[in-house]
């Protein structure tokens, strides 16, 4: 029972905070570009698909309650293939970390600190995440639970301020879209709903296995509802035409909101600070996942020294995009990789396991 460090609340918090991240700021634009006013449909479909994916993943993980992805693939595929699979996972987690870090840095650079060099901001973000890595899973679970409030608050803040200002003609018509567009939109919504793939690492730490499935679905549905509301509120506020032109639609939304006679007239920075909390948790979770798998893969002697190297690699990857468009490309690419990993590797492991009869 030594490893069972995370209780069900912390587990739920990890899932939610891993999911709510950069999607919060960019999702409305991404969806409006693809499916315009039928965004809510794409979002709902995305949530349903994600539930199917998480069903598959949990199916696989439930056969091995005490193992992480490396040990699972080792039992199913043998030593060498499992190393490859783990490496794929590590590179995926690293990519997610660095692209998220880079996006956050871009947002901070545009809105908060225009003169500060990017490397300084990336450095600070990664240092905070590295500190979590030093402290371990327990701390990460508690950290996510403590920050869960801020994550949800940042979404609720958007809803609160736009609720009365949603213009019905901006979100109509509800169903005007083609099938291909809808598929594209659904993929786009899946990108920002990903977060379930962190379970390949965290599942073995949970001390209350029976509730895992139900609380996973509950959390995903909760996030789905929050995001549908967020997308509808933002599109209803700005209209599709304008939203397409905004890089950070939700932050721009806060720039237009008027809170006269309040201490802080300009709440967009307040929102940004809140959103930073959401970004921090996402970065920390993925960064820790990559670090943990690396530690598992390497022999004990080397694993202590791996953090600086891992830090340097992530730092380098985050510096890679030349401009914000490339950042978006990197984010897209990483998201696609995530969907592929979730689907293909899970199905592969499940079917090979079935054929070989590994499961009892």
Partner 1 sequence: MRKICLLLIFILTIILMIGCWDFKQIDNYYILTGLSIDKGEDNELIVSTRISAPITGLQTSNTFTTEGRVISRKGTTILNALQKMSNELKKEIFLGHLQVIIISKEIAKTDVANIVDSLSRNPNIQRKLYIIVCQEEAKKVMEAVNPLDVAPIPDLVNMFDINKTNNFIPITLDEFIFKYKSSGYDALLPIAKVSNQIIEVNGMAIFHNNSYIGELNGEESRVLSLLIYPKFTTEYYTLSQKDTKNTSDFVTVKIDNKSSKIKVNLKDNRIETKLYIKLYAQITEYSNTKENQDVQQLYNIVSKQLEERLKIELESLIKKSKEYNTDILGIGKYVRAKYQDYWDTINWEDKYSNTKFSTDINVIIRSSSSTKLIAN
Partner 2 sequence: MLRKIKNILRAARNQGDKTYESKIVDASYEKNERLSSSLKKNIDNIRKTFGDSDDLQIRKIPGGSVYNFVLIFIDGLVKEDDLNEFILKYFSFKNKESTSFKEIIINSNLPVTSIHEVQDYSDIIAHILNGLSILMIEGSNTAYALDYICFNKRSITDSNLEKNLRGPREAFIEDIKTNLALLRKRIKSRNFQVDKLTIGSRTNTDVAIVYIRDIVNLDIVNEVKSRLVNINYDDVQDSTYLAHLISDNPITIFPLMAPTEKPDKVSSSLLNGRIALLSDNSPTAILLPSVFTDFLHVQDDFYERFYSAFASRVIRYIGAFLAVFSTPIYIALTAVNVDMLPTKLAIPFSQVRYVVPFPLIVEALIMEITLEVLREAGLRIPNPIGPAISIVGGLVVGQTAVNAGLISPFLTIIVALSAIGSFTVTSVDLVTSLRIIKFLFIISSGVFGLFGLGASVSLLIIHSCSLTSFGVPYLAPFSETSIKDAFNSIFRKPFIIDFERNRYYRIKNETRVKK
Summarize as ranges the residues that interact with partner 2 (CB under 8 A): 7, 9-10, 108, 112-113, 116, 121, 124-125, 127-128, 131-132, 135-136, 138-139, 141-143, 145-147, 149, 262-266, 269-270, 272-273, 276-277, 280, 284
Distance in angstroms (rounded) separating the CA atoms of residues 317 and 203: 28
Query: Among 90, 119, 114, which Cα is nearest to 102's?
Result: 119
In whole angstroms, the minimum distance from the beta carbon of 131 to partner 2 comes to 6
- Candidate segments 69-77, 220-228, 236-244, 320-328, binder of partner 1 by CB under 8 A: 236-244
Q: What are phi and psi of 6, to 5 degrees?
A: -115, 130
137 near 202, Cβ under 8 Å? yes
Write the CA distances from 204 to 136, 146, 157, 215, integer angstroms.
Answer: 14, 21, 34, 16
Tokens of residue 188, six digits: 């786009």
In whole angstroms, the minimum distance from the beta carbon of 251 to partner 1 comes to 8
Q: What are phi and psi of 64, to 5 degrees?
A: -125, 75
Q: Please choose which of partner 1, partner 2, none residue 132 contacts, taking the beta carbon within 5 to 8 angstroms, the exact cut-off set by kind.
A: partner 2
Classify the C-alpha dihedral 222-224-225-230 as positive or negative. positive
Query: Among 236, 8, 288, which Cα is nearest to 126's?
Result: 288
Distance in angstroms (rounded) separating the CA atoms of residues 159 and 170: 16
> Of 78 and 117, which has the nearer Cβ to partner 1?
117
Using CB under 8 A, which of 308, 322, 355, 357 touches partner 1? 308
- 260 touches partner 1 (CB under 8 A): yes
> Of 59 and 135, which has the nearer Cβ to partner 2?
135
- Candidate segments 3-11, 91-99, 109-117, 146-154, binder of partner 1 by CB under 8 A: 109-117
Residues at the site binding partner 1, with contacts judged by CB under 8 A = 37, 110-117, 120, 123-124, 127, 130, 134, 168-170, 172-173, 176, 238-239, 241-242, 245, 252, 255-258, 260, 266, 304-305, 307-308
């Amino acid at each position: 029972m030594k490893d069972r460090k995370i209780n069900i609340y912390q587990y739920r918090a990890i899932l939610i905070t891993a999911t709510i991240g950069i999607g919060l700021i960019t999702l409305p634009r991404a969806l409006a570009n693809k499916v315009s006013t039928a965004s809510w449909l794409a979002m709902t479909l995305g949530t349903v698909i994600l539930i199917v994916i998480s069903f598959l993943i949990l199916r696989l993980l439930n056969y091995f309650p005490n193992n992480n992805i490396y040990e699972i693939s080792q039992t199913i595929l043998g030593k060498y293939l499992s190393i490859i699979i783990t490496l794929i996972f590590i590179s995926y987690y690293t990519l997610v970390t660095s692209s998220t870090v880079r996006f956050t840095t871009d947002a901070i650079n545009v809105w908060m600190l225009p003169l500060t060099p990017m490397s300084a901001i990336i450095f600070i973000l990664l240092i905070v995440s590295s500190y979590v890595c030093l402290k371990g899973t327990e701390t990460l679970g508690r950290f996510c639970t403590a920050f869960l409030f801020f994550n949800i608050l940042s979404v609720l803040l958007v809803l609160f301020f736009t609720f009365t200002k949603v213009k019905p003609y901006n979100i109509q018509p509800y169903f005007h879209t083609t099938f291909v567009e809808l598929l594209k939109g659904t993929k786009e919504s899946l990108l920002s709903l990903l977060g379930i793939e962190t379970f390949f690492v965290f599942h073995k730490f949970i001390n209350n296995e029976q509730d895992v499935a139900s609380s996973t679905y509950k959390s995903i549905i909760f996030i789905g509802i929050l995001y549908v509301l967020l997308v509808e509120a933002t599109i209803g506020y700005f209209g599709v035409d304008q939203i397409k032109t905004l890089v950070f639609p939700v932050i721009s939304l806060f720039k237009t909101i008027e809170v006269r006679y309040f201490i802080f007239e300009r709440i967009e920075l307040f929102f940004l600070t809140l959103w930073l909390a959401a970004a921090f948790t996402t970065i920390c979770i993925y960064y820790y996942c990559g670090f943990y798998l690396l530690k598992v893969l390497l022999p004990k002697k080397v694993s202590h020294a791996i953090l600086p190297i891992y830090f340097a690699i992530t730092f380098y990857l985050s510096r890679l995009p030349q401009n914000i468009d490339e950042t978006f490309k990197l984010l897209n690419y990483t998201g696609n990789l995530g969907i592929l990993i979730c689907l293909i590797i899970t199905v592969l492991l499940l079917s090979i396991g079935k054929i070989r009869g590994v499961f009892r």
